[in-house]
Amino acid sequence: MKDESQKYISIIFKEWLPLYDSLTPEVKAVLKNIAGQQAEALATRFYDFIFQDPDIARHLTYDLVQERLSSSLAGWVKDILMCEKENLQALAERQYLIGSIHSRIGIPAEAVLRGARQLKAGLIENIRDSHLDRETSVAAIYYAIMAINMAVEMMCHAYTLSHYRATKNEEAYRLYSLMDNVPLEYGKQQASLSGWENSAIFNIVSDNKTDINGALLSDSEFGLWFRHKCVRYFNKNPQMEEIADLISKVDALLSAWKSSSDGSEYKNTQALLQGIHIHCQQIGSQLGVLFSSLSQMQSGKDSLTSLLNRRYLPVVLKHEVTLAMEYELPMTVAIIDIDHFKEINDSWGHMVGDRAIKHVAELLSDNIRSSDYIFRYGGEEFLLVLVETGAAEAFTILERLRKKISQLAFSVGADNEISITASIGYAVHTGHPDYNLLLRDADSALYVAKRDGRNCVKLHEGDGN
């Protein structure tokens, strides 16, 4: 994905550079003057227009626009129109960051395009009202429109890449949630398929066409599962088409056998049985491939602790931030770091270090609400998402967890026990749709907790999200 974005930036940059070189000093002065004087008004026009869409308004609050986003957009307009040649590459790369943020917070690309149309209309009006000579006016309008188009194009490309990744993770998380125990489900469906095959073979050998009525593979318990649930689990996976085709072949063999009055079409019963058996084995094989892919999707689970790992963190945070904003609910993110973990590893070895991580993971899992989320965040760090939880309640929860960690003796040998402590930093959602700011603020609070002596809980106290 990174290579793809760099390739696209390079393409746009090669187009932008000669466009910039074509600007005369007079046109640069016009663009700089309009950007300096009208950027704030253009930003207001942009947000006033897109706020007419209730779907967009759901993602943004009026206060957020007034306090942060409007000034950010005004700065963006100035960057686009006033950027110097040596800064064009960095400017192009920033558009990718902006597009990724739009995807993360759920601002659709068409809304950005709609707002950009208003920016361009406003710029055209301002340039037209500047009473410039025709050549300067046309050149200024051309550059302004082209520059905005190229910037927004890069945003949309970044949005597409980011949205694709997010969609894959959301789908994987959906599958993970639906089929938490992949081996159990796989065994169940293999048994269902095998049971149907045994029943069909018995009826064929017994020449019992009465009992086999309505017992085509597609109508069996396995067939119903495949048609309704398997399609939902695996969507358009290539193995799905193969299995569907094999089921049709098995049904065709049975239907032909059932329709023959004396079995003359199938005098070689062994060939019929062999055909059904081979097709069922092929179905089982393709089913194994499908479930193997599900097992890989379970890589969203940390192998050491069985907690969720960071793969599904964006999915969960995006969902919870959306709920928090839509229903005006509090929400807290906390990062928990095992204190002096390197010393544990160095003194007692990595196996003991791993046991310490599992020890803390189990304690955290056993002592949080079922509605909350816990992740292995990396190394000796854990991340909690406390839903519908404000600062005061979060402190109570986190302080209780901190005490439980410190009060449990941890065995490192036959006669040796050590105490484990943890530093905790947390941040409360304050209305910004970008969950990355919550992560940043929680991490900042964790830094303060470690700086202030460790084994404590600290709330982020900055300028908010």
Picking from 202, 250, 259, 204, the residue whose alpha carbon sits closest to that of residue 226 is 250
**Which pLDDT value is given to residue 96?**
85
Q: Which residues contact 182 (CB under 8 A, 6 or more apart)?
A: 291, 294, 295, 298
pLDDT class of 267 with cuts at 50, 70, 90: low
pLDDT tens track for 52-94: 877 776 666 666 666 677 888 999 999 999 999 999 989 988 9
Q: Which helix (H) or strand (E) segment is 60 a member of?
A: none
- In the 8-state DSSP scheme, what is residue 300? G
CA gap 459, 278 in Å, rounded: 63
- Say if residue 212's pLDDT is above 60: no
**Which pLDDT value is given to residue 251?**
93
Q: Which helix (H) or strand (E) segment is 314 a member of?
A: helix 313-326
CA gap 239, 279 in Å, rounded: 14
Percent of the chain topping pLDDT 90: 46
Q: What mean pLDDT comes out for the span 107-118?
A: 88
- Say if residue 179's pLDDT is above 70: no
Q: Is 306 left (phi over 0), alpha (psi -120 to 50) or beta?
A: left
Terminal Cα distance for the chain, rounded: 28
pLDDT tens track for 129-150: 998 999 999 999 999 999 999 9
- In the 8-state DSSP scheme, what is residue 377? E
- pTM of the predicted structure, to 2 decimals: 0.58
Q: How far is CA 109 from CA 149, 161, 212, 393, 457, in A?
A: 13, 12, 55, 37, 40
**Which pLDDT value is given to residue 330?**
93
pLDDT tens track for 5-59: 788 888 988 999 999 999 999 999 999 999 999 999 999 999 888 888 777 766 6
pLDDT tens track for 92-106: 889 988 888 888 877
- Say if residue 178's pLDDT is above 80: no
Q: Are strands 457-459 and 422-428 parallel, antiparallel or unpaired?
A: parallel
Residue bearing tokens 């957020």: 64
Pure H helices in 106-181: 109-128, 134-178
pLDDT tens track for 337-354: 999 999 998 988 888 899
**Which pLDDT value is given to residue 389?**
92
Q: What mean pLDDT comes out for the span 256-277?
A: 75
CA gap 317, 372 in Å, rounded: 11
Residue 424: phi, psi to the nearest 5? Answer: -130, 130
**Which pLDDT value is given to residue 237?**
73
Beta strand residue intervals within 176-255, DSSP E: none
Residue 306 forms beta bridges with which residues?
A: none
pLDDT class of 465 with cuts at 50, 70, 90: very low
In three-state secondary structure terms, 59 is coil
Of the ranges 121-125, 174-178, 205-209, 356-360, which one carries the lowest mean pLDDT score?
A: 174-178
CA gap 259, 339 in Å, rounded: 74
For domain 310-459, give the CATH superfamily. Reverse transcriptase/Diguanylate cyclase domain (3.30.70.270)
Beta strand residue intervals within 249-348, DSSP E: 331-338
Amino acid in position 157: H
Largest CA distance in the chain: 97
DSSP 3-state percent helix, strand, coil across the chain (nearest 5): 70, 10, 20
Q: How far is CA 38 from CA 81, 115, 319, 369, in A?
A: 11, 16, 36, 51
**Which pLDDT value is given to residue 34?**
95
Structure tokens at 414: 């036959």
Q: What's the CATH number of domain 2-168, 1.10.287.3510, 3.40.50.720, 3.40.50.2000, 1.10.490.10?
A: 1.10.490.10
**Which pLDDT value is given to residue 230?**
78
